[in-house]
Amino acid sequence: MKEIRFHGRGGQGAVIASRILALAAFKEGLDAQSFPFFGVERRGAPVTAFTRIDTKKIRIKTLIYKPDYIIVLDPTLLGTIDVASGLKQDGLILINSRRSPSSFRFGPAKRVFTVDAEGIALEYGLGTSTAPIVNTTILGAFARISGEVKISSVVDSIKEYVPVKLKENISAAKEAYKIVSP
């Protein structure tokens, strides 16, 4: 089983990203589940969402405490939340950031990837300059670095799940897939 934990802020699309990822996995014949965890339910508040993917039926129904992957939609959370908490030793962290992966320190066993999901999202008109919506963009990068789902499955899931700016969301995901920085 692969477990993914998303860290974002309300309004960035972390919950929707976890659902799109689960649908992409399902489209590939895998079992998947997706669920959010909210503290204060308001725009801008920290939000955590989770996705599990497996080749067999998933029966566990708890939060994810030892993820294989961590996806950070808002890099300002790095200063306030221990986003790497519980990450498996061979786990990956994907951060929405213009900075290089080497500028982040999470310990010697942590592999970090970055993608300027905010810049890409704004380029395609996803959200506003003060509140970019980076969820579909970061999923494109995740498909590339993880290999857990194909970009075509992410695109097909975006088509089913995203009601507005469909072309822009797909283009943003594909661009992030191409340029994610290891």
Q: What is the CATH number of the domain that holds 153?
A: 3.40.920.10
The domain tally of the chain equals 1
**Placement of tokens 């080749």 in the chain:** 55
- Tell me: the pLDDT tens digits for 109-151? 679 999 999 999 999 999 998 889 999 999 999 999 999 999 9
Residue 163's pLDDT is: 87
- Tell me: the pLDDT tens digits for 26-62? 999 999 999 987 655 556 678 999 999 999 999 998 8
**Placement of tokens 């996806």 in the chain:** 71
Q: State which amino acid sits at residue 134.
A: V
What is the extent of the structural domain holding 72?
2-179
**Placement of tokens 């963009």 in the chain:** 137
Residue spans of alpha helices (H) in 73-165: 117-123, 135-146, 151-161
Terminal CA-CA length for the chain: 24
Residue 105 confidence class, pLDDT cut points 50, 70, 90: confident
**Is this model's pTM higher than 0.85 or not?**
yes
DSSP 3-state assignment of 112?
A: strand
Whether 86 contacts 25, CB under 8 Å: no
